[in-house]
């Protein structure tokens, strides 16, 4: 019999049940009208959506077939068909169930699941508090009139694009990569939201006292002031223009000085709600780092040596890799939902699925004693997808054996340590258009190749 430690057993229970059964019952009790026991309860639908998201090519047919084969037997409600194991492999009922459960209910379930995953975030040995990386990205959406109303497409002198665009901002733990609750909104149109506004919303769910680390896009006074007001130490890069206006040029090639950051007239015009006495006490740093074309200008409220602050800022690149994993490995680059609720549900479920993979990677990294980011996310996601049937088995012994084997395999999938950084000349492959481009009104337009 496999003996798991307490933390690994807790991880297995979290993946197996996602939430305690009584919590699922409370959530389903919030639905309007009485619901008799059925196969596709909220607990089952949420699990199936996550399993579908873990497989980059996962379809509704595949996940329904897994349910019919008994893979989620321990999650099924007590009904006649579940006891008789007579579950249809048709996807119609599952598709209807995904639509029937409102977004607000799934948001509550995903928020609690992400809160449970956030408990796995622990500060590294090199820094006391938790460090959270902040950045945003964009997802394209299906061409649907409802979606285009809520998430308009980009426009230029030639007219509107075909796909609607959603802007998403996430906070990721620097060591494990686990993401917190995402925030999203339209990228274009009259109701477009900026990344900084979404990031301010995301900060409200961040662990108290965690360090917020961002690039120059977030190195503005309003966002830094919001973070400090929420008792978060900050470390931001500044644009050269902003840093020069703050007097950082005299600090080159390597220097720092205490600085009271006050809002400019433009800052107050952009954020009228700022108090008159608003200011941030911190440090202004400037350093010429080898490999950077421009000097590195930083503002921080951390009380650490300059070299250590610069080293911490170097971790920021990890969120670029995290976003790439979300968009490409989990296939979130283009959302397939045909309605506003369906697209937003996809974002939530994908974030939970991503966090579950990162949770397993953190547990696997403890066995050889390496950093979780030394392990390959793509390989870990593939291994989890291959062994998900055993991890969802009705037998606790089989689930424990599967977890032990999964963690051992994940621990071997280390990213290579290269002696030299790889550099490639910037180039893109050409895409020859064989047909005319189509306009949004349906009429063809001339292609440059014709």
pLDDT digits over 91-127, tens only? 888 888 888 888 999 999 999 999 999 988 877 656 6
Whether 371 has a pLDDT exceeding 80, the answer reads yes
Whether 279 has a pLDDT exceeding 80, the answer reads yes
This prediction has a pTM of: 0.90
Tokens of 379: 């390989």
Report the percentage of the chain scoring pLDDT > 90: 56
Band (447; pLDDT cuts 50, 70, 90): very low
CA–CA–CA angle 428, 431, 436 (5° rounding):
150
CA–chain centroid gap for 363, Å, is 19
pLDDT at residue number 76: 75
Contact between residue 98 and residue 47 where contact means Cβ atoms under 8 Å apart: no
Q: Which of 6-20, 118-132, 191-205 has the lowest mean pLDDT?
A: 118-132
d(CA 120, CA 118): 5
Whether 434 has a pLDDT exceeding 70, the answer reads no
DSSP string for 282-336? EEEEEE--TT-SS-EEEEE---S-HHHHHHHHGGGHHHHHHHHIIIIIS--SB--
d(CA 323, CA 327): 6
- The mean pLDDT value of the chain amounts to 87
d(CA 403, CA 394): 14
Whether 197 has a pLDDT exceeding 90, the answer reads yes
Residue whose C-alpha is closest to residue 361's, from 346, 381, 341, 337: 381
Residues 6+ apart with CB under 8 A from 449: 432, 433, 434
Band (424; pLDDT cuts 50, 70, 90): low
**pLDDT (average), residues 16-25:** 85
H helix or E strand, kind and range, residue 208: none
Whether 317 has a pLDDT exceeding 90, the answer reads yes
Whether 401 has a pLDDT exceeding 70, the answer reads yes
Q: Where are the domains of the chain?
A: 125-450
Residue 25 has what DSSP assignment? H
In the chain, DSSP finds a helix count (H) and a strand count (E) of 18, 9
Neighbouring C-alpha atoms within 13 Å toward the C-beta of 306: 18
pLDDT at residue number 44: 87
Q: Please give the CATH number for the structural domain made up of 125-450.
A: 3.90.350
**pLDDT (average), residues 154-175:** 93
Band (448; pLDDT cuts 50, 70, 90): very low
H helix or E strand, kind and range, residue 439: none
Tokens of 74: 């321990």
Q: Which of 134-148, 270-284, 394-408 has the lowest mean pLDDT?
A: 394-408
pLDDT at residue number 450: 40
pLDDT at residue number 449: 42
Tokens 């890799």, located at residue: 321
121: left (phi over 0), alpha (psi -120 to 50) or beta: beta
Contact between residue 168 and residue 137 where contact means Cβ atoms under 8 Å apart: yes
Band (86; pLDDT cuts 50, 70, 90): confident
End-to-end CA distance of the chain: 69
Residues 6+ apart with CB under 8 A from 276: none
Whether 287 has a pLDDT exceeding 70, the answer reads yes
d(CA 224, CA 163): 33
Tokens of 202: 């995301």
Q: Which of 87-91, 256-260, 301-305, 381-385 has the lowest mean pLDDT?
A: 87-91
Residue whose C-alpha is closest to residue 298's, from 262, 232, 254: 254
What is the number of other CB atoms lying within 10 angstroms of the CB of residue 279? 15
Whether 298 has a pLDDT exceeding 70, the answer reads yes
**pLDDT (average), residues 358-384:** 94
Residues 6+ apart with CB under 8 A from 202: 134, 169, 170, 171, 180, 181, 182, 183
pLDDT at residue number 404: 92
Highest mean pLDDT out of 16-20, 123-127, 238-242: 238-242
**pLDDT (average), residues 284-300:** 89
């Amino acid at each position: 019999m496999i003996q798991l430690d307490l933390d690994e057993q807790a991880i297995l229970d979290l993946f197996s049940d996602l939430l305690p059964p009584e919590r699922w019952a409370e959530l389903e009790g919030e639905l309007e009208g009485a619901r008799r026991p059925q196969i596709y309860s909220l607990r089952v639908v949420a699990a199936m959506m996550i399993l579908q998201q873990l497989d980059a090519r996962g379809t509704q047919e595949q996940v329904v077939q897994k349910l019919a084969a008994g893979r989620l037997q321990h999650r099924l409600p007590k009904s006649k068909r579940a006891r008789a194991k007579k579950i249809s492999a048709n996807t119609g009922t599952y598709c209807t169930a995904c639509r029937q459960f409102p977004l607000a209910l799934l948001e509550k379930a995903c928020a609690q699941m992400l809160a449970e995953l956030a408990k796995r975030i622990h500060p590294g040995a090199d820094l006391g508090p938790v460090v959270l990386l902040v950045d945003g990205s964009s997802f394209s959406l299906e061409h649907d009139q409802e979606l285009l109303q809520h998430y308009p497409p980009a426009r230029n002198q030639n007219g509107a694009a075909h796909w609607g665009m959603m802007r998403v901002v996430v906070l990721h733990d620097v060591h494990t990569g686990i993401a917190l609750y995402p925030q999203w909104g339209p990228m274009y149109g009259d109701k477009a939201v900026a990344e900084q506004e979404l990031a301010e919303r995301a900060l409200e769910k961040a662990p108290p006292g965690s360090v917020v680390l961002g690039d120059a896009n977030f190195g503005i006074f309003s966002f830094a002031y919001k973070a400090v007001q929420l008792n978060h130490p900050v470390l931001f890069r500044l644009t050269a223009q902003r840093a020069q206006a703050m007097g950082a040029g005299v600090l080159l090639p390597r220097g720092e000085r205490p600085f009271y950051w006050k809002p400019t007239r433009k800052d107050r015009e952009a954020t009228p709600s700022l108090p008159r006495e608003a200011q941030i006490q911190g440090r202004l740093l400037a350093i010429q780092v080898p490999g950077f074309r421009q000097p590195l200008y930083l503002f921080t409220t951390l009380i650490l040596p300059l070299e250590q602050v610069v080293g911490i800022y170097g971790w920021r690149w990890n969120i670029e890799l995290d976003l790439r994993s979300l968009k490409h490995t989990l296939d979130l680059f283009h959302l397939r939902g045909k309605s506003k609720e369906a697209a937003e549900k996809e974002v939530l479920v994908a974030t939970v699925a991503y966090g579950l993979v990162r949770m397993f990677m953190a547990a696997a990294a403890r066995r050889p004693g390496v950093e979780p980011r030394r392990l390959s996310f793509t390989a870990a996601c593939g291994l989890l997808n291959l062994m998900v049937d055993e991890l969802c088995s009705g037998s606790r012994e089989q689930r424990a054996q599967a977890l032990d084997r999964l963690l051992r395999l994940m621990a071997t999938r280390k990213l290579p340590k290269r002696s030299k950084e790889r550099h490639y000349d910037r180039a893109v492959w050409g895409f020859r258009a064989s047909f005319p481009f189509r306009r949004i009104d349906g009429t063809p337009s001339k292609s440059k190749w014709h």
